[in-house]
Structure 1
Amino acid sequence: MSKATRIPLRMLGKSDLNISAIGLGTWQFSKGNNLIGRYWSDLNEIDIQKIVQISYQGGINWFDTAEIYGKGKSEETLAQALNMLEDGGKEAYIATKWWPMFRKASSITKTIEERISVLKNRTIDLYQIHQPHSFSSIKAEMEALAELIQNKKIRFAGVSNFNEKKMREAHEELNKHGFPLVSNQMKYSLLDRRIEHNGVLDAAKELGITIIAYSPLEQGILSGKFHKNPELIKNIKGPRKYTSWFKKNGLAKTEPLIELLEKLAKEYEVTPTQIALNWLIHFHGDTVVAIPGATKVQHVEQNIGTLTFQLSDKHLQEIDQISKGISTD
């Protein structure tokens, strides 16, 4: 598949960024650096290069990283991989995040040159407040982001893990400076549908804010492979194997959904993973995009394949009903 020729694009919020409905999450590029980075096993440079290259050539045109992922190591590794592409990844968009814990809003502007440097001077297309807890107000944070946009240090601003009230406040404050809040990155999957009930999703639709769904496959549980062979859980590196969905009761509870995903996967001649992701990016129109990670080339190929078909309305509703009886909400 030639890059970006067969993949439909959609606008990121009220920006002028036309993005693929699937981006690539790059937390796993942290190289095992710092506590956050050790959540995933260390990927070698060759595998990372292949993952980025195949994603880009397959039409995935944006990559999500963060300052806290390996203390900048994910950003650096991503930039290196993009720079090594044949065209230097010139059509790739980069989304990264400022870590607010124990910091003030002044840190947003003070540390931006470091972020740019770590990213090898690539453009920061989307800069996000990683979570809502800091020593400063949302007003101060949005003022800092507006300053970065005005000074052309970043192109657009977003937030992550902001509830409805905080998201609305961020939108209002940024709008005072003439800039849109284009996104809110939230945990969202067929097994975690809280944003549908706590006002976040409805407010996003109202305000024209894109929801960027992270952990869209619940750390791989929606692939169904752990249901078929629970012994695989013992080989998982990092703490995710101790989360509730990976326990015996969690596997049993999710079995009906996995069976449906597998049934539809056969009908569409795709994988259960692709069915789960396809539901996520189509059930709410263009409001939700997703950033599954990838630690193997086959994961990338599945991510790309997700963008080449669309579930019928009947099947979207069928998955919706089964999921509602299982998910966290």
Structure 2
Amino acid sequence: MAFGAPSAHRAADDRYEKLGDYRRAGNSGLELPSFSFGLWQKFGTDRPCTTQREIVLHAFDLGITHFDNANRYGPPPRAAEKFFGTVLRRDLWPYRDELVLSTKAGNPLGPSPYLKGGSRKSLLASLDHSLRDLGTDYVDIFYSHSPDLSTPLEETVGALVTAVRSGKARYAGISNYSAERAREAAELLRNAGIPLLVHQPRYSIFDRRPELDGLLELAAEDGFGLVVYSPLAQGLLTDKYLDGTIPPGARARDSAFLSPDTIDDTYRERATALNEIARRRGQSLAQLALQWVLRQPQVTSALIGASSAWQLDHNLKALDFPPLTDEELTLIDRHGIHGTGSHP
């Protein structure tokens, strides 16, 4: 990836004062920032790498130390890891010990049976590839990206254990697992002497599965943290679609995870009501939505992306507002109905 002239980036001296909110991941000794930066979308070869780099460096200067990746992030797959590897080598290598880098494997990368699933071959080969792309000899967290019901859970967990014991990962994580399967994975990891550090589920005002299937209770009971993704429901919990139109460049135009059909009257009615709650608090709908997920003690960190430095600054201001009151939480429950805007 071409970035032009060699970097002279120096991280902001006051970066840890800017965010100021770091939380222990479950019962572990590892602290993560309340906001983590995800490279799921907007970090492929279809976007200017200079803009991407500016956003990542700005995130670090704001105190965000956790950068979340996966082998299939792009497009094409692995492009996001290669991009971050370039930034790490050029800009952030002096700060490697201050970074928490995570990656995932298991979701399909291609037609080969070895480029998907939870087998030892798939997971460990992908981890080696990710380390080459990132240009580092270890990641801090290695995840099983999704449960593979065709592979014994013992094999998938065994691969995570091997990754940690080999020194190629510091901690083990899982993502998109049901509460029941997460309980089994946590027990297998605990028996191997490698406690489950974090689970990465989708969680937002419009997607409450961690509440409904018992994952929040399990996290508290088993002592692992939650790093939640899509806290803004792919942009549905912003003011972007409140007028019923889909602006140019919005995810609802070209994303596999958000359909134009979801921008319907039911969605607009509920989102508008939530926006009014936020307005009365003096904040944006996005800030309200982020504050809502972070109120849960089991939530260690909320994953956010950004298409600009301004958007990143705006979202982090969610930490500046007073706690949500019981009355406000009741109103949010009334309008923030699970399944709103859902898309297969």
Cα displacement string for residues 3-47 of structure 1 (whole angstroms, at most 9, x for unaligned residues): 122421101233322111211110124425xxxxxxxxx221111
1:1-329 alignment runs, 5 A limit:
2-6=14-18, 7-32=20-45, 42-70=46-74, 71-85=77-91, 88-90=94-96, 91-99=98-106, 101=108, 102-103=113-114, 104-121=119-136, 123-133=138-148, 135-228=150-243, 230-232=245-247, 236-242=253-259, 244-246=261-263, 248=264, 252-282=265-295, 284-287=296-299, 289-314=301-326, 315-324=328-337, 327=340
Aligned partners of 1:12 and 1:210 also within 8 Å: yes
Name the residue aligned to 1:36: none
| Structure with larger RCO (C-alpha < 8 A, sep 6+) | 1
Q: Tell me which moved more, 203-212 or 313-322.
A: 313-322
Q: Evaluate the alpha carbon distance shift between residue 239 and residue 107 of structure 1 in structure 2; reply closer, same or farther with a 3 A threshold.
A: closer
Q: How far, CA to CA, are the matches of 2:303 and 2:137 in structure 1?
A: 20
The question of whether the paired residues in 2 share the 8 Å contact of 1:280 and 1:288 is answered with: no
User: 2: CA distance between counterparts of 1:92 and 1:234?
Assistant: 31
3-state SS in 1 of match to 2:216: helix
Aligned partner letter, 2:29? D
Q: Does the CA-based 8 Å contact 2:241-2:268 persist in structure 1? A: no
1:71-112 superposed Cα distances (whole Å, 9 cap, x missing partner): 211112123224443664431211110125544223323343
Does structure 1 conserve the Cα–Cα contact (< 8 Å) formed by 2:267 and 2:341?
A: no
**Structure 2 CA distance for aligned equivalents of residues 241 and 144 of structure 1:** 33
Q: Which residue matches 1:39? A: none
User: Alpha-carbon deviations, 1:228-269, whole Å to 9, x = none?
Assistant: 2514278633344525432x2xxx223344334433444444
Q: Structure 2: how far apart are the matches of 1:122 and 1:162?
A: 27
SS at the partner of 1:4?
helix
Matched-pair contact (CA < 8 Å) for 2:85–2:135: yes
CA contact (8 A) 2:36 2:68 kept: yes
C-alpha change, 1:59 and 1:214, in structure 2 (3 Å) is same
CA distance in 2, matches of 1:324, 1:27: 25
Deviation at 1:302, TM superposition (A): 2.1
Residues 146, 86 of structure 1: CA spacing in aligned structure 2 closer, same or farther, 3 A cutoff?
closer
Q: CA 1:66 to 1:233, structure 2 compared with 1: closer, same or farther past 3 Å?
A: same
Q: CA deviation at 1:123?
A: 3.4
Q: Is the 8 A contact 2:82 2:133 kept in 1?
A: yes
Sort the Cα spacing of 1:132 and 1:240 in 2 relative to 1 into closer, same or farther, 3 A. Answer: closer
Q: Is the 8 A contact 1:21 1:281 kept in 2?
A: yes
8 Å CA contact retained: 2:23, 2:300: no
TM, length-normalised to structure 2: 0.82
User: What is the distance in 1 between the residues matched to 2:195 and 2:244?
Assistant: 46
Q: Distance in 2 between matches of 1:176 and 1:194?
A: 27
The question of whether the paired residues in 2 share the 8 Å contact of 1:29 and 1:77 is answered with no
Judging by fraction of residues, say which structure has more helix.
1
Moved more, 216-225 or 10-19: 10-19
Q: Pick closer, same or farther for the CA change 1:255–1:237 going to 2, 3 Å.
A: closer
Distance 2:261 2:302 in 1: 22
Question: Deviation of residue 122 (structure 1)?
Answer: 5.6
Q: Tell me, what secondary structure is at the counterpart of 2:104?
A: strand
Structure 1 residue 60, shift from structure 2 partner: 1.5
Kindly tell me the number of residue pairs found equivalent between the two proteins.
Answer: 315
Can you list the C-alpha shifts for 1:96-141, whole angstroms capped at 9, x where unaligned?
1012554422332334322111111163111100111165311111
Report if the CA contact (8 A) 2:227-2:302 is conserved.
yes
Q: Once superposed, what is the RMSD of the aligned Cα atoms?
A: 2.6
Between the aligned partners of 2:330 and 2:60, the Cα distance in structure 1 is 31
Measured in 1, the distance between the counterparts of 2:56 and 2:341 equals 32
Amino acid at match of 2:37: L
The amino acid across from 1:141 in the alignment is T
- Mean Cα displacement is larger for which, 223-232 or 169-178? 223-232
Q: Structure 1, unaligned stretches of length 5 or more?
A: 33-41
What letter matches 1:54 in structure 2?
Answer: H
Q: TM-score, normalised by structure 1?
A: 0.86
Identify the range of structure 1 (58-67 vs 269-278) with the bigger mean alpha-carbon deviation.
Answer: 269-278
